Every structure is written in C-alpha cells, then in structure tokens.
Amino acid sequence: MLKNLLFVTSYVKFYIIVPALILPPFAHRRITSAFAVSMPLG
C-alpha cells in the first residue's frame, strides 16, 4: 500500500510540474493553489 501511495504522489507531482513547464505564466497561480491543496494529502 505504501508503494501504491508513493506512485500516486509521484504521479500527482508529475501532473502538476509538467503543465507548469508548458503552460503560460497566467496559469501558474491555479497550479500553485492546486499544489497547495494536494500537499496535505501527501
């Protein structure tokens, strides 16, 4: 279960970081807030 949780966490980080690199700066505020919401989850 721990390995599965780690996989989900890494996937979420990947899902946040990649759009941050691709999308224009105006989207970064939304991405940052989404990251802040996901942080307590893991």
Check residue 28 and give its pLDDT.
63
Check residue 27 and give its pLDDT.
62
Check residue 22 and give its pLDDT.
73
Check residue 40 and give its pLDDT.
65
DSSP collapsed to 3 states, the chain: CHHHHHHHHHHHHHHHHHHHHHCCHHHHHHHHHHHHHHHHHC
Ordered mean pLDDT values, 10 residues apiece, the chain (42 residues): 82 80 68 70 54
pTM score? 0.37
Check residue 25 and give its pLDDT.
66
Check residue 19 and give its pLDDT.
74
